[in-house]
Amino acid sequence: MGSLLGERDVPPRILVVDDDASVANVIETVLRTEGYTVAVARDGAQGLMLARDWRPDLILMDVMLPGVDGGTVTRRLKSEAATADIPIVAMSAGKTIRSRTAEIEEADGALAKPFDIDALLAQVAFHLARRPNEELAPTDHVEDTSNRRTTPIKPSTIIDA
Protein backbone atom coordinates (compact mmCIF):
# COMPACT_ATOMS: atom_id res chain seq x y z
CA MET A 1 0.00 0.00 0.00
CA GLY A 2 1.54 3.33 -1.02
CA SER A 3 1.82 6.41 1.07
CA LEU A 4 -1.02 8.91 1.00
CA LEU A 5 1.22 11.84 1.88
CA GLY A 6 2.13 13.12 -1.56
CA GLU A 7 5.14 15.43 -1.77
CA ARG A 8 4.72 17.27 1.55
CA ASP A 9 7.96 17.84 3.48
CA VAL A 10 6.34 17.65 6.91
CA PRO A 11 3.96 14.73 7.39
CA PRO A 12 0.48 15.47 8.73
CA ARG A 13 0.06 14.99 12.47
CA ILE A 14 -2.68 12.65 13.63
CA LEU A 15 -3.88 12.29 17.20
CA VAL A 16 -5.39 8.91 18.10
CA VAL A 17 -7.57 8.98 21.22
CA ASP A 18 -8.47 5.43 22.27
CA ASP A 19 -8.36 3.70 25.64
CA ASP A 20 -7.97 0.25 24.07
CA ALA A 21 -4.19 -0.10 23.82
CA SER A 22 -4.32 -2.83 21.18
CA VAL A 23 -6.56 -0.77 18.88
CA ALA A 24 -4.51 2.40 19.42
CA ASN A 25 -1.26 0.54 18.76
CA VAL A 26 -2.52 -0.97 15.49
CA ILE A 27 -3.80 2.40 14.28
CA GLU A 28 -0.53 4.07 15.28
CA THR A 29 1.55 1.43 13.48
CA VAL A 30 -0.52 1.64 10.30
CA LEU A 31 -0.40 5.44 10.21
CA ARG A 32 3.33 5.60 10.94
CA THR A 33 3.94 3.04 8.17
CA GLU A 34 2.09 5.40 5.82
CA GLY A 35 4.41 8.22 6.88
CA TYR A 36 2.16 10.16 9.24
CA THR A 37 3.33 11.59 12.57
CA VAL A 38 1.18 10.07 15.31
CA ALA A 39 0.49 10.78 18.97
CA VAL A 40 -1.72 8.59 21.14
CA ALA A 41 -3.89 9.61 24.08
CA ARG A 42 -5.43 6.91 26.30
CA ASP A 43 -8.34 8.95 27.70
CA GLY A 44 -10.44 12.00 26.94
CA ALA A 45 -8.62 14.39 29.26
CA GLN A 46 -5.24 13.53 27.75
CA GLY A 47 -6.75 13.76 24.25
CA LEU A 48 -8.11 17.23 25.01
CA MET A 49 -4.74 18.40 26.33
CA LEU A 50 -2.78 16.97 23.39
CA ALA A 51 -5.21 18.42 20.84
CA ARG A 52 -4.85 21.88 22.36
CA ASP A 53 -1.07 21.75 22.75
CA TRP A 54 0.02 19.74 19.70
CA ARG A 55 -2.58 21.04 17.21
CA PRO A 56 -2.85 17.88 15.06
CA ASP A 57 -4.09 17.93 11.48
CA LEU A 58 -6.65 15.20 12.25
CA ILE A 59 -8.04 13.48 15.35
CA LEU A 60 -9.31 9.89 15.45
CA MET A 61 -11.53 9.87 18.56
CA ASP A 62 -12.99 6.84 20.29
CA VAL A 63 -16.50 7.64 21.54
CA MET A 64 -16.41 5.48 24.67
CA LEU A 65 -13.55 6.76 26.83
CA PRO A 66 -12.97 6.66 30.58
CA GLY A 67 -13.49 9.97 32.36
CA VAL A 68 -14.26 12.56 29.71
CA ASP A 69 -15.99 10.73 26.83
CA GLY A 70 -15.20 11.29 23.16
CA GLY A 71 -18.41 13.22 22.48
CA THR A 72 -17.60 15.72 25.22
CA VAL A 73 -14.02 16.13 24.01
CA THR A 74 -15.26 16.67 20.45
CA ARG A 75 -17.79 19.33 21.55
CA ARG A 76 -15.13 21.15 23.58
CA LEU A 77 -12.60 21.13 20.75
CA LYS A 78 -15.19 22.30 18.21
CA SER A 79 -16.25 25.15 20.51
CA GLU A 80 -12.71 26.54 20.88
CA ALA A 81 -11.41 28.83 18.13
CA ALA A 82 -7.90 27.34 18.24
CA THR A 83 -9.11 23.76 17.62
CA ALA A 84 -12.49 24.17 15.89
CA ASP A 85 -11.05 23.56 12.41
CA ILE A 86 -9.33 20.26 13.27
CA PRO A 87 -11.30 17.42 11.64
CA ILE A 88 -12.41 14.75 14.11
CA VAL A 89 -13.43 11.23 13.12
CA ALA A 90 -15.48 9.47 15.80
CA MET A 91 -14.75 5.76 16.23
CA SER A 92 -16.83 3.18 18.07
CA ALA A 93 -18.45 -0.22 17.75
CA GLY A 94 -21.09 -0.18 15.01
CA LYS A 95 -24.06 -0.63 17.34
CA THR A 96 -22.64 1.96 19.75
CA ILE A 97 -22.06 4.57 17.07
CA ARG A 98 -25.65 4.20 15.81
CA SER A 99 -27.11 4.64 19.29
CA ARG A 100 -24.94 7.64 20.19
CA THR A 101 -25.59 9.96 17.28
CA ALA A 102 -26.17 12.95 19.58
CA GLU A 103 -22.71 12.44 21.12
CA ILE A 104 -20.93 12.43 17.77
CA GLU A 105 -23.00 14.99 15.86
CA GLU A 106 -20.16 17.55 15.93
CA ALA A 107 -17.61 15.05 14.59
CA ASP A 108 -16.60 15.45 10.95
CA GLY A 109 -16.87 11.74 10.25
CA ALA A 110 -17.53 8.38 11.85
CA LEU A 111 -15.84 5.01 11.57
CA ALA A 112 -17.60 1.96 12.96
CA LYS A 113 -15.43 -0.70 14.61
CA PRO A 114 -14.34 -3.23 13.60
CA PHE A 115 -12.97 -1.59 10.47
CA ASP A 116 -10.31 -2.60 8.02
CA ILE A 117 -7.12 -0.74 7.28
CA ASP A 118 -8.33 0.49 3.88
CA ALA A 119 -11.41 2.09 5.48
CA LEU A 120 -9.23 3.78 8.10
CA LEU A 121 -6.78 5.12 5.52
CA ALA A 122 -9.62 6.31 3.26
CA GLN A 123 -11.11 8.32 6.16
CA VAL A 124 -7.71 9.79 7.02
CA ALA A 125 -6.98 10.78 3.40
CA PHE A 126 -10.47 12.22 2.90
CA HIS A 127 -10.39 14.43 5.99
CA LEU A 128 -6.82 15.60 5.46
CA ALA A 129 -7.65 16.51 1.85
CA ARG A 130 -10.49 18.73 3.09
CA ARG A 131 -8.19 20.79 5.32
CA PRO A 132 -7.64 24.40 4.24
CA ASN A 133 -3.90 23.72 3.76
CA GLU A 134 -3.98 21.67 0.58
CA GLU A 135 -0.45 20.41 1.16
CA LEU A 136 -1.74 18.03 3.85
CA ALA A 137 -2.97 15.39 1.43
CA PRO A 138 -3.49 16.01 -2.28
CA THR A 139 -7.05 15.24 -3.38
CA ASP A 140 -5.79 13.21 -6.34
CA HIS A 141 -4.86 10.52 -3.80
CA VAL A 142 -8.38 10.29 -2.33
CA GLU A 143 -10.49 7.53 -3.77
CA ASP A 144 -14.28 7.78 -3.55
CA THR A 145 -15.38 4.54 -1.92
CA SER A 146 -18.91 5.65 -0.98
CA ASN A 147 -20.55 3.38 -3.54
CA ARG A 148 -18.31 0.39 -2.91
CA ARG A 149 -18.58 -2.27 -0.25
CA THR A 150 -15.40 -2.48 1.78
CA THR A 151 -13.98 -5.96 2.14
CA PRO A 152 -11.26 -6.68 4.69
CA ILE A 153 -8.01 -7.53 2.95
CA LYS A 154 -7.01 -10.10 5.59
CA PRO A 155 -8.45 -11.00 8.99
CA SER A 156 -5.23 -9.73 10.56
CA THR A 157 -5.86 -6.25 9.21
CA ILE A 158 -9.22 -5.78 10.89
CA ILE A 159 -9.14 -3.50 13.88
CA ASP A 160 -11.62 -4.81 16.41
CA ALA A 161 -13.01 -2.88 19.35
Q: In what order do the strands lie in the sheet with 58-62?
A: 37-41, 13-17, 58-62, 88-93, 109-113
Q: Which domains does the chain have, with CATH numbers?
A: 13-137 (3.40.50.2300)
- pLDDT band of residue 105 (cuts 50, 70, 90) is confident
Q: What is the pLDDT of residue 56?
A: 98
Task: Decide: residue 71, CB within 10 A, 0-12 exposed, 13-18 middle, 19+ buried.
Answer: buried
Q: What is the pLDDT of residues 106-129, one digit of tens each?
A: 899 989 888 889 999 999 999 999
Q: Give 16's pLDDT tier (boundaries 50, 70, 90).
A: very high
Name the pTM for this structure: 0.77
Is the dihedral angle over the CA atoms 45, 125, 115, 159 positive or is it negative? negative
